[in-house]
């Protein structure tokens, strides 16, 4: 009821032409307090009262914008709505007779928010709308998600309606190109070659021991042979086992060297060079 009576009192009193700085300051302070309350609890009735109080502070253009938006979206008491419409009509009548210009803002995309410098953050609107602007130069900022923010200057010098079209450019997100520089990383090597080399070396050592033992036994038998035939047979066996001993020795030496090399490689991680090619192919290289 207090809200309704406040609006009725405003409508009942014609807009005063003479300046009243003290009353305007009080109304501006009241509007600021209502704005803070609206931020804490964004109720439609508070938003409407911000517009009415802004009208009391003789800020006609922002008051007209806020009351117009209030009536567009608020579910309020029918009597209050009727009173607010009367206030809106009174403001518009005063602006038609004064130095104001109705500007038809056509915004693309429609979901953009529009803020007029000097109107206050509460007077921000969304999409296309007719807004009355006092004569002068006004900075208008338009924002929308996925689009580049744009600020334009709107100059009003006459009462004739004008159209201001503002289109935002979509922001193109460029894909991040992969780093073409090679990247070094450590990679474990297989132990299979080392195990195989160790197995071969072990077998060669076994062959070496067996060949040495067999050759020595044959030599001992040849020294005590009873006839020439037995001596020659044992001598052939000695030569055969000596040959096997020599082969086993060579294999054991080579196998030991290879085994040591492969085990060193297995326990030392490789430095692998990774090169992205065309975003999909990866070439590997490294020092071994």
Q: How far is CA 207 from CA 168, 196, 210, 223, 236, in A?
A: 86, 17, 5, 24, 18
Which pLDDT does position 73 carry in this prediction? Answer: 67
State whether 37 and 16 are in the same domain: yes
For residue 159, being part of any structural domain is answered with yes
Judge whether residue 268 has pLDDT over 90. Answer: no
For residue 23, being part of any structural domain is answered with yes
- pLDDT band at residue 177, thresholds of 50, 70 and 90? low
The mean per-residue pLDDT over the stretch 220-226 comes to: 72
Q: Which residue has the higher pLDDT, 135 or 226?
A: 135
State whether 11 and 75 are in the same domain: yes
Judge whether residue 150 has pLDDT over 80. Answer: yes
Name the burial class of residue 191, with classes exposed (0-12), middle (13-18) and buried (19+) by CB atoms within 10 angstroms of its CB: middle
State whether 132 and 215 are in the same domain: no
CB count within 10 Å of CB 245 equals 20
Judge whether residue 147 has pLDDT over 90. Answer: yes
Looking at 123, 146, 173, the residue that finishes a domain is 173
For residue 223, being part of any structural domain is answered with yes
- pLDDT band at residue 152, thresholds of 50, 70 and 90? very high
- pLDDT band at residue 228, thresholds of 50, 70 and 90? confident
State whether 62 and 13 are in the same domain: yes
Which pLDDT does position 53 carry in this prediction? Answer: 82
For residue 231, being part of any structural domain is answered with yes
State whether 73 and 103 are in the same domain: no
Judge whether residue 230 has pLDDT over 80. Answer: no
Which helix (H) or strand (E) is 223 found in, with range? helix 192-223
Which pLDDT does position 20 carry in this prediction? Answer: 59
121: domain range?
A: 99-173
State whether 154 and 214 are in the same domain: no
- Cα-flanking dihedrals φ and ψ of residue 108, to 5°? -135, 120
For residue 26, being part of any structural domain is answered with yes
For residue 185, being part of any structural domain is answered with no
User: From edge to edge, which strands make up the β-sheet containing 113-116?
Assistant: 125-126, 113-116, 136-143, 150-156
Q: How far is CA 191 from CA 57, 250, 263, 269, in A?
A: 87, 24, 7, 11
Number of structural domains found in the chain:
3
Share of the chain above pLDDT 70, in %: 71
Judge whether residue 43 has pLDDT over 60. Answer: yes
Q: How many residues does the chain have?
A: 288
State whether 77 and 110 are in the same domain: no
State whether 32 and 71 are in the same domain: yes
State whether 77 and 133 are in the same domain: no
| Best CA proximity match to 65, nearest among 96, 97, 102, 23 | 102
Q: Which of 1-5, 37-41, 89-93, 103-107 shows the lowest per-residue confidence on average (mean pLDDT)?
A: 1-5
Judge whether residue 106 has pLDDT over 70. Answer: yes
Which pLDDT does position 166 carry in this prediction? Answer: 96
CATH number of the domain bearing residue 140: 2.60.40.1120
Which pLDDT does position 66 carry in this prediction? Answer: 87
Residue carrying structure tokens 């130095």: 99
The mean per-residue pLDDT over the stretch 215-221 comes to: 76
State whether 90 and 3 are in the same domain: yes
Which pLDDT does position 46 carry in this prediction? Answer: 72
Looking at 114, 143, 173, the residue that finishes a domain is 173
CB count within 10 Å of CB 211 equals 20
For residue 251, being part of any structural domain is answered with yes
| Best CA proximity match to 48, nearest among 102, 101, 10, 16 | 10
Looking at 124, 148, 173, the residue that finishes a domain is 173
Are the C-beta atoms of 114 and 142 separated by less than 8 Å? yes
Which pLDDT does position 54 carry in this prediction? Answer: 84
The 10s digit of each residue's pLDDT in 46-100 is 777 788 888 888 889 998 998 888 887 656 778 878 888 888 898 999 999 999 9
For residue 117, being part of any structural domain is answered with yes
The mean per-residue pLDDT over the stretch 187-210 comes to: 80
State whether 16 and 92 are in the same domain: yes
Which pLDDT does position 2 carry in this prediction? Answer: 37
Judge whether residue 219 has pLDDT over 60. Answer: yes
Coil, strand, or helix at residue 277?
Answer: strand
State whether 139 and 117 are in the same domain: yes
Q: Which residue has the higher pLDDT, 134 or 205?
A: 134
Q: Does the predicted model carry a pTM greater than 0.75?
A: no
């Amino acid at each position: 009821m207090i809200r309704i009576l406040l609006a009725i009192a405003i409508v009942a009193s014609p807009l005063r032409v003479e300046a009243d700085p003290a009353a305007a300051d009080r109304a501006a302070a009241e509007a600021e307090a209502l704005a803070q309350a609206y931020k804490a609890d964004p109720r439609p009735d508070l938003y409407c009262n911000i517009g009415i109080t802004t009208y009391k502070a003789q800020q006609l253009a922002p008051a007209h914008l806020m009351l117009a938006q209030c009536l567009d979206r608020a579910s309020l008491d029918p009597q209050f709505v009727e009173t607010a419409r009367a206030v809106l009509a009174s403001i518009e009548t005063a602006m038609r007779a004064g130095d104001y210009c109705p500007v038809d803002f056509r915004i693309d995309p429609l979901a953009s928010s529009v803020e007029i410098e000097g109107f206050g953050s509460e007077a921000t609107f969304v999409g296309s709308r007719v807004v009355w602007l006092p004569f002068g130069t006004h900075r208008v900022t338009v924002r929308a998600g996925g689009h580049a923010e744009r600020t334009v200057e709107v100059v009003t010098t006459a009462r004739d309606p004008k159209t201001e079209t503002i289109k935002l450019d979509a922001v193109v997100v460029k894909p991040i190109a992969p780093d073409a520089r090679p990247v070094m990383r450590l990679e474990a090597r297989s132990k299979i070659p080392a195990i195989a080399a160790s197995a071969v070396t072990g077998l060669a050592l076994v062959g070496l021991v067996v060949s040495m033992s067999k050759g020595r036994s044959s030599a001992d038998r040849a020294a005590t042979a009873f006839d020439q035939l037995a001596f020659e047979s044992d001598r052939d066996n000695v030569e055969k086992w000596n040959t096997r001993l020599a082969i086993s020795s060579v294999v054991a030496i080579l196998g030991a060297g290879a085994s040591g090399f492969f085990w060193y490689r297995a326990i030392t991680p490789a430095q692998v060079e990774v090169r992205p090619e065309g975003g999909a192919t990866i070439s590997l290289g490294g020092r071994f």
